[in-house]
Structure formats: structure tokens, C-alpha cells
Amino acid sequence: MRVVCLAGGVGGAKLADGLQRALEPGELTVVVNTGDDFERHSLLVCPDQDTVLYTLAGIAEPAQGWGIAGETWQVMSQLARLGEETWFRLGDKDVATHLFRTERLRGGKRLSAVALELCAALDVPSRILPMADEPVRTRVRTDDGWLDFQDYFVRLRQAPEVREVRFEGADLSSITPEVEEALAGAEAIVVAPSNPIVSIGPILAVPGIDEAIAAARARGVRSVGVSGIVGGKALRGPADRMMASLGDEPTALGVARRYASMGLLDVFVLDRLDESLARDVIALGLEVVVTETVMTDVGARVQLARDVLAATLPPA
Amino acid sequence: MRVVCLAGGVGGAKLADGLQRALEPGELTVVVNTGDDFERHSLLVCPDQDTVLYTLAGIAEPAQGWGIAGETWQVMSQLARLGEETWFRLGDKDVATHLFRTERLRGGKRLSAVALELCAALDVPSRILPMADEPVRTRVRTDDGWLDFQDYFVRLRQAPEVREVRFEGADLSSITPEVEEALAGAEAIVVAPSNPIVSIGPILAVPGIDEAIAAARARGVRSVGVSGIVGGKALRGPADRMMASLGDEPTALGVARRYASMGLLDVFVLDRLDESLARDVIALGLEVVVTETVMTDVGARVQLARDVLAATLPPA
């Protein structure tokens, strides 16, 4: 069953890992957010792509969910000695990924082609595709003005309230041949429990992606989304606060509303903790599946993946 | 006493270290060869500059003479895992230098400005200046054709015979304001015991440098060179074989001839082992100083530096 999963960072990577384990090799394509990408110390860093890459390659640091297991920090400590700002900490092994990627991009390759080379190099049986080859950069407006995403996310630790979000460059980007092909051949679409505003939002802002999803759904492919907000709290990151400060309800229902307003989903997956929201989600025109959505271990990733895959089948 | 030292890698770095220790802080300027520089894994790597930098910063690996003491190799091991060629091994701390430099160059800074920033960041009391801001790349012709310098030097471990040398881009380069100023203010010029062909040669191929040296000498500044070939053997690297295959005598006398033919020197420093060559060197029109030139420890560096500095004073 060919599945396309839209994903951001850690939460998306966990569900993608469950899907990869539940599917046959080669059946999964993950389309990752590139709005968080940025240039750092002359390198292009792609946090969401790499979190998914390391997770699907089985080399992710298990505790924190991002970075490579057994990472060391010599490059960073020397950069600090040279007086460089080191609030975005790149591990030594992680630097190798950025060197590999940056060299090829400077040589004229597309980001998508390099992403597939990285999958091959790390024996990942799935395809991890950036949402676009052109740079799209998420920026957030706070009370102190517009900030680059990582400035807000890492340096300021998401302390400021987000008043507005934009995806710079999205209007100049377009769906890649690889994403187009994946969606054209998809038998199911999964929207991972990632931040709906700054992880899934940028993907849908790339011209052509929403049309390709709509075209797949028009031919009967079902699209299933999982809430990354459970019990009114984001499982990770600032999604709840960001929803609230942008005027959305900071709950799974708020997430469902956002996706429903885009006509993105057939089915919405709620955590058992949010079962009481099912009626309101159904009222949005979505089917609802209630299950355990908090992926505390690999078994839970696979179980959620199976529940999601079951939901992509048309109701009997 | 303001001293300008022309230098390549390890041998040059050792004498520069002796000079830095023998002089007052700020009196030494080292003009380094950039012909060995190259792009690797998207980074600009400047081997000679960095060998001098680490040595003068007191952080060089003492045994091998290049690289940083206590270096680790995680970036390289991960690049190998990604399938990258790793014959040029960049240490993790060393990578930090290249990231620092590459970021600034991509931001439009000149190589000279970045070199001075690196000196400041590592509290080096001397000025380390690249011979040019424009890229100059040493290439060598072997029986298998033209090779990039590091391809010959590191990957092929200097196995092929060198039939011809050229400094690509030298004709489009020019003396930097920093080197010009240093030579205009110099009270002595030192040519380090580096490879005369591929370390000192490229420096002198930069338009404006030989004229600036000649101008300094015309106003009475003396120029002292040290042989990097002792007893018919290069202290390090392939200088002796390269001299031979290019038709020069592979001895200190051959080195003296090369420099004399360029009108570069007033004084040539011979090792005691080569004392018998003194007469022939004098016949080239050079003064000769015979001393210990093999810098086996820091004390020997300082002693040779003192001997060299003494030779820059006009004879009584």
C-alpha cells in the first residue's frame, strides 16, 4: 500500500517510523517541511528532514528524538572557542549530513535529489522528500517584530507569543516532480501529528501540493490526520500556544477545524483523552477514529500507524 | 623589529613560532601560501594558513605538526558512513575553522580579513596573511597528466614524479593591501624552510609581492632564507624529489640557486650538515650563515629564529 505522509519533526518522524515498520519496504514516502531550514555556519541545515532521516535510518538519539545517537560536540565547542554563536547546536555526525548536502547543493543538485541520496546512503527503505526544492522560510511575527523561525524556536525557546506566521518564498516554490509522482501514485495520505501551523502549514503552502492531494482524494484516496495536541497540550513544541495566540482553539478540535477548513482530511484521529471532542469533529464533516496517539515507544508507533492505515481504508 | 616571514606549512609554521617567541607581540607578519587551498565537502580548506594558525595559537598537534591537538574524527567517520571519499581527513575542531572561514567568505569578506579574524579569535599575537585574496591553485603535471595539488600531495601521497608546476589564477591575483602594508613597514624579511617550489613559489607568483620585496630591499631591508633541504633530503614533504624531477639540484644549493635567480635573498642559512656548500652559495652572491636548522623542539625553533634575525642585521 503506497502511503504518503506529510510530516514535520519529532512527532512526524515517530509516526513515519511506525508507518515504515508497518508497511513493506518502499511503500512509504514522507514529505517533510522545509520551512524550518536555515543556513548556519555556511551549511544548509534541514531540521525536519534530518529528524525524519535519522529516525527512519534507525540512528536517531532515542531520548530527545532529534539528532544522532552517540553524538559528540567537538565542532561546536571549537566554534564557541572561535567566538561563534552556538545557540543552535550541531553535533559532529550531524555536521557530516550538512556537509554532504551543502556540497551537492552548491554543485547544482536539487534538494530533493540530495534527500534521496541521503536515504540511500543511510539505507532508509522509504523516500524522504522535501516539500519543495526552492527555499521556503517560515517567519513568525512576535511583539518584537518578525523573527526567523529558528531564532524564535531555538534561540528564544518559543518564549514570545506568535501573532502572525508567513512562509517566505512559498509563492515562488512549486511541487517537485518527486512529490507529484508520490501523490499521483498514493493509495493513502497521512497527516502526521506535527504542528499544524508551522510544520504542516508550510507543506500545504507550496503551490501544487494541495491540488495534488485534492486530485488523489478525488480518485478515492483517503486522507487521515492525527492531532498533535492531546488534552489541550501540544505533545511537543509550541503548537498549543501558537494556536491560541493566532485565534484558534488550542485543542485537537482546533487542529481538526484547521484541516477541515482546508478540505485536507477524510478522517481525524483523536486520542482517547479527547474522545469527548469526537462529536464536534464529526460535525466538521470528518470521520473520527479514537485511539492511543501518544507514541511512547516503538510499539506505540507501530500500533498508531496500523490504526491510521486501517482508517485509510474506506468504511465497510 | 617588524618581520615579514614567507611560509608554507609545517616547516614554515615552526620557524614562524620561533620568530613569534623571539620577537615582541605584533612584530611578526606571516604571509602564507594559499596554493594548497581547496574546496572539500563544501568548505574552503587552507592547509598552510591553518598549520601556521594552530602553531602560532599554541594549539597544534605537536607530533605531526599539522592539525589541532586532541583532535577527534566524528565528522569524518560519519562522512565515510555516508559514502564520501575521506582521503583528506578533516578533524572535528579543524572543521570549525573551515565553517568559520567559509561562512564569512560566502558573506563577501576577503580571505585576508577572515584570516585576521581567526588570529584574533585564537589570541595569536602575530598577523597571518594569505598571499592573495583571489584563489590561486597549485597544480602539478605528472606522467598521468595534471593533478590538483592535494590530489597529488595527500591522495597519491606524492608518489608520482612532478614534471611541471603551475599556479592557476596567480595571474589574476594581486598583492593584498595587508601584505603590501606589511612589506612596506618590514624591517626584515624571512623566507622559511618551506618547499621552494610549491610553498614559496606560489607566494612569489602573486603579482606585486616580488616588487614589494624588491622595494623593501632597495631601502636596505635584508632578506634571509632558510633551506628546507638538509643533507640532500627535504626535512618534510617532496621538495627534494620535486627539485630533481624539475631539473634542479635537490640540495640546499639547489634551493639557494632558485632564490638567487629570483633576486630574493641577501643571506642564505645552511645547516651545519651542508657547510661544504657554503662556498658555492657565496658564489651565487649570497651571504651565508651556517647553524642548526632542524627544529626538533621549541628551543630549536627559537634558536634558529634568533640566528635568522641576527642575519637580517647588516654585517658590522
Work out the minimum CA distance from B109 to partner chain A, whole angstroms. Answer: 13
Q: CB–CB of B81 and A100 under 8 A?
A: no
Phi and psi, residue A240, nearest 5°:
-65, -50
Q: Residue B78: its chain A contacts at CB < 8 A?
A: 68, 92-93, 95-97
CA atoms within a 13 Å half-sphere pointing along the CA-CB vector of A8: 22
Indicate the pLDDT class of residue A65, thresholds 50, 70 and 90.
confident
| The three grid cell numbers given for residue A11, joined into one nine-digit string | 512527532
Would you give the DSSP letter of residue A142?
Answer: E
Judge: B79–A100 Cβ closer than 8 Å, yes or no: yes
Q: What is the mean pLDDT of residues A15-24?
A: 98
Does pLDDT of A30 surpass 90?
yes
Residue whose C-alpha is closest to residue A34's, from A186, A168, A190: A168
Residues in a beta bridge with B138? B167
pLDDT in the model for residue B213: 98
pLDDT at residue B78, rounded to an integer:
97
| Sheet (strand A188-191) strand order | A127-130, A28-32, A3-7, A188-191, A222-226, A267-271, A287-291
Chain A residues whose CB is inside 8 A of the B121 CB are: 81-83
Provide the pLDDT confidence category of residue B314 given band limits of 50, 70 and 90: confident
Across A105-129, average pLDDT: 98
Instruction: Extract the C-alpha cell encoding A211.
Output: 491540488
User: Do you know the residue count of chain A?
Assistant: 316
Contact list in A for residue B92 (CB cut-off 8 A) is 72, 74-75, 78, 92, 95
Residues A175 and A202 sit within 8 Å (Cβ to Cβ): no
Q: Reply yes or no on whether the pLDDT at B316 is more than 80.
A: no
| Cβ distance of A74 and B68 shorter than 8 Å | no
Give the residue from B42, B105, B117 with the most A CB atoms within 10 Å of its CB, the best one to mutate.
B42
Q: Does B213 touch chain A (CB under 8 A)?
A: no
Nearest residue, CB atoms, B93 vs list A43, A74, A102: A74
How many CA atoms, within 13 angstroms, populate the side-chain half-sphere of residue B244?
11
| Nearest 10 degrees: Cα torsion A249, A251, A254, A259 | 150
A:B CB pairs within 8 Å: 96
Extract the C-alpha cell encoding B52. Answer: 601556521
**Maximum Cα–Cα distance across chain B:** 64
The rounded Cα B222 to chain-centroid distance in angstroms is 19
Q: What is the mean pLDDT of residues B276-289?
A: 97
Which of B45, B68, B74, B123 has the most A C-beta neighbours within 10 Å, making it the best mutation to test the interface with A?
Answer: B74
In the block, cell 642548526 appears at B292
Determine the Cα–Cα distance for residues A99 and A265; give it in Å rounded to an integer: 37
* Pick from B75, B97, B103: CB nearest A92: B75
Query: What does DSSP say about strands B3-7 and B28-32: parallel, antiparallel, or unpaired?
Result: parallel
- Per-residue pLDDT at B315 exceeds 80: no
Give alpha helix (H) positions in chain B: 10-22, 47-57, 74-81, 92-106, 111-121, 149-150, 177-185, 201-204, 209-218, 239-245, 252-261, 278-283, 298-312
B99 touches chain A (CB under 8 A): yes
Q: Is the pLDDT of residue A315 over 80?
A: no
What's the pLDDT score for residue B118? 98
User: SS3 string of B1-30?
Assistant: CCEEEEECCHHHHHHHHHHHHHCCCCCEEE
Interatomic CA distance for residues A234 and A225, integer angstroms: 15
CA distance B197 to B211: 19
Whether the CB-CB separation of A278 and A297 falls below 8 Å is answered with: no
Q: How far apart are CA A146 and CA A163, in angstroms?
A: 9
Interchain CB contact of A72 with B (< 8 Å): yes
What pLDDT, in 10s, does the model give residues B16-43? Answer: 999 999 999 999 999 999 999 999 999 9
Contact A75 B75 (CB under 8 A): yes
CA B76 to CA B93: how far, in whole Å?
11
Q: How many CB atoms lie within 10 A of CB B25?
A: 9
- The yes-or-no verdict on residue A14 having pLDDT over 80 is yes
CB contact under 8 A, A74 and B79: no
Q: How many CB atoms lie within 10 A of CB B86?
A: 18
Q: How confident is the model at residue B275 (pLDDT cuts 50, 70, 90)?
A: very high
The whole-angstrom distance between B69's CA and the closest CA on chain A is 12
CA contacts within 13 A on the Cβ side of B23 = 27
Mean pLDDT over B64-69 rounds to 88
What is the 3-state composition of chain A as percent helix, strand, coil, each rounded to the nearest 5?
Answer: 45, 20, 35
* Region of poorest pLDDT, from A146-160, B70-84, B278-292: A146-160
Those residues whose C-beta lies under 8 Å from the C-beta of residue B208, and which sit 6 or more positions away, are: B174, B175, B179, B180
For B74, the closest of A74, A103, A121 (CB atoms) is: A74
- Checking if the pLDDT of A201 tops 80, the result is yes
B251 neighbors B230 (Cβ within 8 angstroms): no
Task: Kindly state the percentage of chain B with pLDDT values over 90.
Answer: 94
Q: Do A92 and B81 touch (CB under 8 A)?
A: no
CB A267 within 8 A of CB A260: no
pLDDT band at B235 (very low <50, low <70, confident <90, very high): confident
pLDDT of residue A9: 87
- Give B-chain residues touching A77 at CB under 8 angstroms: 93
Indicate the pLDDT class of residue B11, thresholds 50, 70 and 90. very high
Q: What's the pLDDT band for A2 if we cut at 50, 70, 90?
A: very high
For residues A13-31, average pLDDT: 98
B79 in contact with chain A, both atoms CB, cutoff 8 A: yes
In angstroms, rounded to a whole number, what is the distance separating the alpha carbons of residues B90 and B84? 12
Q: Where are the alpha helices (DSSP H) in chain A?
A: 10-22, 47-56, 74-81, 92-106, 111-121, 149-150, 177-185, 201-204, 209-218, 239-245, 252-261, 278-283, 298-312
* pLDDT score of B75: 98
Chain B residue with the nearest C-alpha to that of A97: B79
Cell for A140? 513568525
Q: In this predicted structure, what is the pLDDT of residue A308?
A: 98
Report ipTM (2 d.p.): 0.93
User: Using a CB-CB distance cutoff of 8 angstroms, which residues of chain B are in contact with residue A118?
Assistant: 82
3-state secondary structure of B213: helix
CB A223 within 8 A of CB A265: yes
Chain A partners of B81 at a C-beta cutoff of 8 Å? 96, 121-122
Note whether A34 and A221 are within 8 A (CB). Answer: no
Q: Are A90 and A80 in contact (CB under 8 A)?
A: no
What 3 state SS string does A58-83 have? Answer: CCECCCCCCCECCCCCHHHHHHHHCC
Residues of chain B neighbouring A115 (CB-CB closer than 8 A): none
The predicted model scores a pTM of 0.94
- Half-sphere exposure (CA, 13 Å, Cβ side) for A129? 22
- Residues facing A147 on adjacent strands: A140
Percent of chain A scoring above 70 in pLDDT: 100
Q: How far apart are alpha carbons B111 and B113 in whole angstroms?
A: 5
**Percentage helix, strand, coil for chain B under 3-state DSSP, each rounded to 5:** 45, 20, 35
> Among A41, A74, A85, which would you mutate to test the B interface (most chain B Cβ atoms within 10 Å of its Cβ)?
A74
Q: Is B41 on the interface with A (CB under 8 A)?
A: yes
Cα nearest neighbour of A106 on chain B: B42
Contact A96 B75 (CB under 8 A): yes
Residue A175 pLDDT:
98
Contact by Cβ (8 Å): A216, A183: yes
pLDDT, tens only, A142-157:
998 999 999 999 899 9
pLDDT exceeds 90 at position A288: yes
Is B82 touching A (CB cutoff 8 A)?
A: yes
Answer yes or no: is pLDDT of A35 > 90.
yes
Rg (alpha carbons) of chain B, rounded to whole number: 18
Pairing of strands A38-40, A43-45: antiparallel
Q: Report CB contact under 8 Å: B82, A106.
A: no
AA identity, residue A223 = S
| Cα A22 from Cα A17, distance rounded (Å) | 9
Query: A15 pLDDT exceeds 80?
Result: yes
Q: Which residues does chain B have within 8 Å of residue A79's beta carbon, measured at their own beta carbons?
A: 96, 99-100
3-state secondary structure of A298: helix
Which domains are delineated in chain B?
Answer: 3-156+164-312 (3.40.50.10680)
Is the pLDDT at A62 greater than 90? The verdict is: no
Give the percent of chain A with pLDDT over 90: 95
Q: Who among B79, B100, B122 is closest to A84 (CB)?
A: B100
What would the mean pLDDT of A259-274 be, rounded to a whole number? 96
From B99, which residue of chain A is nearest by alpha-carbon distance? Answer: A41
Identify the residue among B95, B102, B114, B116 best suited for mutation to test binding to A, counting A beta carbons within 10 A and taking the highest: B95
